[in-house]
Copies of this chain bind each other. A is one copy, B any other.
């Protein structure tokens, strides 16, 4: 751990103040003092420095006076113009890019429905570069205005180095995607598992706001697992984010081969003999789900098997992390009771009795926005000053 000196002290308390303002909306200094347990004096000093750095700003009072006497409180809020960051989400058939301000509000967004699977990392990096430049330009900004960028992608990512160990969107392993991008764009680039970003976004903006421990499971073309543990994103040694698809379930099969959209389609095609065109993936999934909902036995069974397999893995994860909540998302699959009911039943059946009532499983539907906002939030976290304990993102070297 880093050695403690006054500078670290200030960094920690500064972050506490920033975090309080971010989480609990516009706050007055007294309120910050109450929330952070810092003395009013200290809060005053820190907020003065933050105002000086233009990281926060005074909210022009919008009429709302609280009905009490005394000097009115001066409300402070994050200064949206303090910085702009870029969030990128890579999926097998879609690149999403967004530029946000310092409050993680979208300024501009761009979706590129491109099948990038099986392209070389260099080609993908080129595509992303183009998308980012375009999106930044749409926001009427230049690259030099961008303080940082974060990429979320499915697979196993070593966050500390920006290396993607393995991913369904890369045909190679150990792709140094962070460096590829930071060299192209000249900004600091962080790379992380896509679901980690949603977990962070949930913690910042969503349902996990009050929770310091929860799991996020995403069921799309691949399976993702994001873990918020004790208020921090959980990563393995080396900063590795695991891939839920790599988990094993009964019969020693990879969960990724049993419970993804792709595995479902493969199974469905095997009975129907029908094959959908390459670009009809979403529709094919939706149709399969509809048939299951309608009660067609084979389809329902396929979904149920997937749900049971997921339940198995989730039960093990609950045993380990004991989170009060598990959030499940996914474009179509996650909405179907044909999948969820067996999933919940499996979890309930398999959880040890001592953990039976610990955890609630919740389905959550997300727009694409939350992913890129999460990516932006990941970068903002650094800018807020959280970087004292962790190693920051890969910065573009002056050489090269």
Contacts and interface: CB of A to CB of B under 8 A. Distances in A.
A39 to B, nearest CB: 9
Interface stretch (A89-97, A277-285, A319-327): A319-327
Contact of A248 (B3, B10, B315): B315
A248 to B, nearest CB: 5
Given A37-B3, A250-B252, A165 B354 contact: yes
- Number of copies of chain A assembled together: 2
A371 interface: no
A49 B256 CA distance: 57
A160 to B, nearest CB: 12
Contacts of A319: 242-243, 246-247
A118 interface: no
Interface in A232-262: 236-238, 240, 242-243, 246-252, 254
Contact of A237 (B38, B174, B323): B323
A316 interface: yes
A251 B253 CA distance: 11
A243 B37 contact: no
B248 A251 contact: no
Interface string A322-353: 11100000000000000000000000011011
A196 B236 CA distance: 18
Contact of A251 (B8, B242, B246, B251): B251
A36 interface: yes
Nearest to A15: B1
Interface in A289-338: 312, 315-316, 319-324
Indicate the member of A13, A238, A350, A352 with the most B CB atoms within 10 Å: A352
A250 B248 CA distance: 8
Given A251-B250, A322-B237, A12 B1 contact: yes
Contact of A354 (B156, B320, B353): B156
Given A243-B352, A248-B350, A252-B349, 16 more contacts: A4-B8, A8-B9, A156-B352, A165-B354, A166-B354, A173-B354, A174-B354, A236-B320, A237-B322, A240-B355, A242-B320, A246-B355, A248-B250, A248-B315, A250-B252, A254-B352
